Structures are given as C-alpha cells and as structure tokens.
Amino acid sequence: MPPRALTGIGLLIAATACFAVLDTSVKLAGAIVSVLLVIWFRYVFHAVAVTAIMLPLRGRAVLRTGHPRFQLLRGVLLLSLSMMGFIALQQMPVGEFTAILMVTPLAVTLLGATVLRERVSAWQWLLVAGGFMGVLLVVRPDSGDIGWAGLLPLAMVFISAWFQILTARMARTEDPMTMHLYTGWVGAIAASALLPFVWQAIPDGRTLALLVLIGVMGTVGHLLLILAYQRAPASTLSPYLYTQIAFAMLTGWLVFGHTPGPIELAGIALIVACGAVNGWRAARTRPVPIQPPED
C-alpha cells in the first residue's frame, strides 16, 4: 500500500478516536450543564479556530461560495444532528450510540433507491436489511436498557444520509475548507441566538475543561477527516471508519464502566459486517465518499 494511503488511514483512525472522546465528553458535560450550552461551546470553538487558521492561509478566498443557500442548509442539518446526538448521549451508552450511527452508509443506499431512483442490487437490499436488524438488536425497544431512546440516533441516521448526499453534491464545486468554515459559523450563530434562553454559569474548572476538550476534539477530528480523504480514496478508508465503535466502547468502559451485553455486541457486529461489505461492494462500482455523521 502506498505511504500516502497509509497516512490517510492513520489520520482517519485518529479522527475516529477524536469523535469517540468528543461523544464521551459530551455525555459527561451534558449531565452538568445545558446541552445547548455544550453545543454552543462546540460550534463557537470550531468557527473561531477554523477562521483563525484559514483566513491567514487563504485570505478572503476561503469565504467564496457559489451556493450560499446550500451552505446554510448544510450547517442547519449538522446543527440538528448535533442537538439530537447530544441529547441521545444523555440517555444511552456511547458505544451503542456510535454503532447505530454507523448504519448511515446503508441509509444512503436506501435513500438512493427510494428517493433518487438509483439502481440497488438484491445484495445491497440484503445488507441494508441486515444493518437495520443489527440496530434492533442494539436498541431492543422492549428492554429497559436503551429502549425507545435509541430511536433518536436512528432518526439521526436518515438526517445524516441527506447531509452526506448534500455534501457529496457540494463537494463537486465547493472547497472543503470553505464548507468546513461555513458549517461552524452557521452552528455558532444559530446556537448563540438560542443561548440566552438557557444560559447558566459554568460551575467549575473541570466543566470548563470538558467544554474546551469538546471544542478541540470536534474541530481537530473533522480536520483530520478532511486530511485523510485528501490522501486516500473512500474505498480504502471506509473499512476503517468502524474503528470509532471500538474507541467509543473503550471510552465508555474507561469513563462509565459500561460494556455492551452479548445481544448488543451481536447487533454491533452485524452493523459492522453489513456496512463494511456494502462499502466494499460500492467501492468496486463507484468511488462514493462514505463518511460518518459529524458531531
């Protein structure tokens, strides 16, 4: 494998580790302060950090976009995902939450068939069905462990699928760093407008450190993701996206002492298997950039 591709894989794995730490920190911080305050801090840090880095490097050129309405829509979709995800993380373990979100590439296939009228093979339909069966094993609505709270990240899967389709279309003409910049500012401005209704003082230095960690992990994670896809094709990187589940289960065990049960582990394994095979088959036919949902 070329060194450039190996570098891309390393960057991607580092990004998934950042996202796992981000989600774990969100679960901790959300138990102390308002979830909206957590979201505001995450997006303001993102917007300010990316602007401070990119403006000196690119100047005003980084602000140029041919599709301002799509930039706004993309930012609103991502903010919605963050709000739903941060709320869901207060109700369920980090590992299981992450596993459900990993069904997103399969949901993209489903939407491609039902909405965009793309041709989907019987194998792909089987993999989609298998992935959602894995979600049911993780969620188990009739159990008292996760139950119906698991439907929130499942709803996120379909919103994220639309987000991925929009991102793929925009990436044909838009600079990825411009998209990254506008995403941060749309979220920061929208969250700032809502913040006065839920404002509360940060109680201590530990909580402030958690909020800073959330901002750093979100910003660095997405930057690493962009760098990874600049160095290796999606077909090479997509199997390694599922390392985020392993990192999430590890952080969930280290911080909260939680380990999934055998039924949840079977569901996670089914999600990973169906998603990986779906990505491998898609890579053989067309280079579709399959990325995990952003936080």
Q: How many domains does the chain divide into?
A: 1
Whole-model pTM over 0.75: yes
Task: Inform me whether the pLDDT recorded for 149 exceeds 80.
Answer: no
Residue 120, in any domain of the structure: yes
Q: Give the tens place of pLDDT for each residue, 109-132.
A: 676 666 656 676 777 778 878 887
Residue 292, in any domain of the structure: no
Q: Looking at per-residue confidence, does 273 or 210 come out higher?
A: 210
Domain encompassing residue 204: 3-285
Residue 291, in any domain of the structure: no
Residue 139 CA to residue 223 CA, distance in Å, equals: 31
Residue 23, in any domain of the structure: yes
Residue 269, in any domain of the structure: yes
Residue 294, in any domain of the structure: no
Residue 123, in any domain of the structure: yes
Residue 16 CA to residue 102 CA, distance in Å, equals: 12
Q: Looking at per-residue confidence, does 9 or 136 come out higher?
A: 9
Mean pLDDT across the stretch 257-283? 81
Copy the structure tokens of residue 286.
């067309």
DSSP states of 227-245 as a string? HHHHHS-HHHHGGGGGHHH
Q: Give the tens place of pLDDT for each residue, 199-213.
A: 888 889 999 999 999
Residues in contact with 92: Cβ distance below 8 Å, sequence separation at least 6, in sequence order: 146, 149, 150, 153
Residue 140, in any domain of the structure: yes
Mean pLDDT across the stretch 272-293? 63
* Cβ atoms 290, 282 nearer than 8 A: yes
Mean pLDDT across the stretch 246-274? 88
